Homo-oligomer: A and B are copies of this chain.
């Protein structure tokens, strides 16, 4: 029998945040062209260290040195796909955990083929919206773009199955986030709709999930904590900003100032 998801306890999130600040994981980001700066700034704000390395021979060398690897297919190209495959192989050889963000999978053939192919390459975690999870699970998806038209709760059973089938964690995010290893599942209910008006908040979350996969201890808890960091910073920021421009700025300030007690 499968347990219902329960809200991630604040103390667990605080514990993960403390570990993240202590270890400051170096995250090798192979991500899309649009969100590079915001992803790097998010990692720096939360206490991790970003490095973007993309040429094939460098990527395979670097993923073995980094603490985690992020593979985001938002602006996938042929050379980038080749470099990502090399980096994943090298990360797996070195024991570097890697995280898949399958942006817009299902909508476009090239990236769908790529994403389905790398599922078998043992990602430590997958972070996606509901439409993307449905597409990975072979279900008909509704979205045309990157925002999910489906509800994350509807996608949860498919997320569980993906996690179980591929021995990975799946974070399916939306108005509520669910983070599951197939058996256990945490939910995170913070967040704010303004986050959908700033490009790259989901992509940056995937980078923080990657950073958290490098921490010692319970990886499922840490991945859920990553969702909580971002959601809580988003909710606190939305209260005090007037639009998406100041939201994006305040969000980085909030992440930087995040402390365990804000996560309770």
A252 and B244 in contact (CB under 8 A), knowing A52-B34, A62-B108?
A: yes
Interface residues of A in 218-254 (CB under 8 A from B): 241-246, 248-254
A92 to chain B, nearest CB (A): 19
Task: Determine whether the beta carbon of A55 is less than 8 Å from that of B32.
Answer: no
A145 on the B face (CB < 8 A): yes
A11 on the B face (CB < 8 A): no
| Chain A 89-128: CB-based contact to B (< 8 A → 1; otherwise 0) | 0000000000000001001111100000000000000000
Task: Determine whether the beta carbon of B41 is less than 8 Å from that of A199.
Answer: yes
Tally of this chain's copies? 3
Task: Determine whether the beta carbon of B37 is less than 8 Å from that of A53.
Answer: no
Contacts of A77 in B (CB 8 A): 54-55, 79
A147 to B65, CA, bound (A): 15
Name the one of B44, B66, B79, B145 contacting A49, with C-beta atoms under 8 angstroms.
Answer: B145
A38 on the B face (CB < 8 A): yes
A144 on the B face (CB < 8 A): yes
Contacts of A257 in B (CB 8 A): 242-243
A243 and B248 in contact (CB under 8 A), knowing A34-B40, A110-B58?
A: no
Contacts of A244 in B (CB 8 A): 41, 44-45, 252-253, 256
A199 to B29, CA, bound (A): 13
A191 on the B face (CB < 8 A): no
Task: Determine whether the beta carbon of A197 is less than 8 Å from that of B256.
Answer: yes
A62 to B44, CA, bound (A): 33
A residues with CB within 8 A of B: 26, 32-38, 40-41, 44-45, 49-55, 57-58, 61-62, 65-66, 74-79, 104, 107-111, 144-147, 196-200, 241-246, 248-257
Q: Which 10 A-B pairs have the closest CB atoms?
A: A243-B253, A245-B252, A40-B199, A245-B249, A243-B256, A34-B36, A245-B253, A55-B77, A58-B108, A44-B197
